[in-house]
Structure 1
């Protein structure tokens, strides 16, 4: 009987040891999974860049091919470009991990930082500056000659690219409100036309009284419309805005984020790749960027946060 009890105890010990070993294995697997979720052990095998339209989507897709090839070579993993429908789609893509690298306008970055916890790496240099202003455009023969004229004239049709665009809508909207427009929705007839180019073209074809765009959208149109600067006039500007930039999802491995930043900064010494940046978003150069620079954008963002449903 004692031998039988001893045998039962021995068998029991085997199961206890096996169970403990299984628990330790499961705990290790859970810890590894947790580490992967936190981006600490992620193996990057491919990167997706997200672009939002500043011109026709097909044109962007074609123009960025050399940038895809350059980054693929520099980063050691395939890099593919994806043209998003709008800023919301880009932010959502970065939040869900479907987009790794995002070309974000200032407001898009602020929104992405809040919703997707992205990190800004670099920003654009245009005309020697890392800031820009939104501009108001009207037809040359229009009676509108200043932003004051716009504020004094109810019922105008206002064209802009996207309601989440920093220069296309948010900064001008904030300025118009500060100048006395109490309700933008009732004071203006608003039309969102998907891109800055289209907003200017809406004024050109007479379907809008004025448009708000980046400075100077007419440069984009000059190739196809040589006399565009004779047909469209700039009648005002907003305060300075930080230039758009490149952000990455924050849970990418730190070494990969550093490589991406280094690769973009190196474009300054590669004219053929910088030309691509210029063709897509009119970048003349690239500078380092920091989150604090976008505080002025956050102030404007807070004004519209509720109505934008963010």
Structure 2
């Protein structure tokens, strides 16, 4: 009897021990899968105009998001696309406005995830635009192909509308070597490319459509001084992207907060001042396949 009783006690102890172990395992699993707390977020902007002025104009985004997400959000304007991508890769920037090509690079290099795309002029797509001084003899894009030695002003080699799509189009039209055919001037922002025409520093410029609007306050007759001669095919608009490592609930909250801007007149005014955008629409990675095709063409030379 004593032996049987002792055995019963031993079995009961084992059950308790196994139960405790199971509870500890469940607790450990729960601990391992719990998403980390986010104490602060950084929203990064790509430069489309003077960086210092953009930084001041973009500040209300930080205030708005801080209130909507209940997480402190600061804003930062990077000096170029590569810097913004690197900042995402290093987890210095958590949320970013990324042009199409920069998004494709950020997806590859920093595992960025697109949430939304911009709406501009009522559309989720846009075109690259070719512009020349009003008194130029150049009338068409074909004239650019047929004339060697022209000075070409553009924002950045990694700019989708500023360089990549027009470069692809010019090559498709017969330019074999862009570096030999043109004198290339990388100027850092779309408005600076237009200013290069006004100042006589370039023969033609490629920008988003229509970058002249950024200079209307400074140069009221800019549309008379600069003439448009052509555009490229359609390009999906710039993105709102995030670091993929962010918790899913935070990503969802970010997406909801930016979509809510579509009904927020104050923030729409800020969005227009920063990028001349009118709101946001849902986006998928597949929307940017056409950009990936151009990226493959220029990847080696850019990197």
TM-score (norm 2): 0.89
Q: Once the 2 structures are TM-superposed, how far is the Cα of residue 245 of structure 1 from its aligned partner?
A: 1.5
Q: CA deviation at 1:136?
A: 0.3
1:110 counterpart SS class? helix
* Counterpart in the other structure of 1:246: 240
Q: CA deviation at 1:41?
A: 2.6
Note the C-alpha offset of 1:189: 0.3
2:210 counterpart residue number: 216
Candidates 182, 185, 194, aligned match of 2:176:
182
Question: 1:122-142, CA deviations, whole angstroms, 9 ceiling, x for partnerless residues?
Answer: 111111110000000001110
Question: SS at the partner of 2:302?
Answer: coil
Query: For residue 306 of structure 1, what is the aligned residue in structure 2?
Result: 300
| 1:150-188 deviation line (CA, Å, top 9, x unaligned) | 000000000001110000000000000100000001111
CA distance in 2, matches of 1:193, 1:183: 20
- 1:80 pairs with one of 74, 84, 94: 74
Matched, 1:196 2:190: yes
Tell me, in whole angstroms, the C-alpha distance in 1 between the residues paired with 2:181 and 2:287.
32
Q: Shift of the alpha carbon at 1:67?
A: 1.2
1:206 has 2:186 as partner = no
Using the alignment, how far apart are the partners of 2:142 and 2:243 within structure 1? 41
Q: How do 1:1-310 residues align onto structure 2 when only pairs under 5 Å count? A: 41-309=35-303
* Structure 1: unaligned runs, 5 residues or longer: 1-23
Distance of 2:245 and 2:85 partners within structure 1: 15
CA–CA separation in structure 1 for the residues paired with 2:45 and 2:172:
32
1:245-288: CA deviations, max 9, x gaps? 11000010000000000000000110100111110011112111
For residues 166 and 87 of structure 1, what CA distance do their matches in structure 2 show?
11
Give me the whole-angstrom Cα distance separating, in 2, the residues matched to 1:275 and 1:239: 28
Local SS of the residue matching 2:47 = coil
Alignment partners' CA distance in 1, 2:185 and 2:147:
17
| C-alpha separation in 2, matches of 1:81 and 1:70 | 11
Q: Distance in 1 between matches of 2:175 and 2:110?
A: 33
Residues matched between the structures, number: 279
SS at match of 1:239: strand
Matched position secondary structure for 1:206: coil
The 2-side partners of 1:51 and 1:284 are apart by: 16
Deviant stretches of 4+, over 6 Å: none
Distance in structure 1 (CA, Å) of the matches to 2:36 and 2:149: 54
Q: CA deviation at 1:65?
A: 1.7
Q: Distance in 1 between matches of 2:225 and 2:75?
A: 35
Unaligned runs of 5+ in 2: 1-23
Q: 1:208 Cα shift?
A: 0.2
After superposition, the CA RMSD in angstroms is: 1.7
Measured against aligned partners, the alpha-carbon deviations of 1:205-252 in whole angstroms (never above 9, x if no partner) come to 111000000000111111110111001000010000000011000010
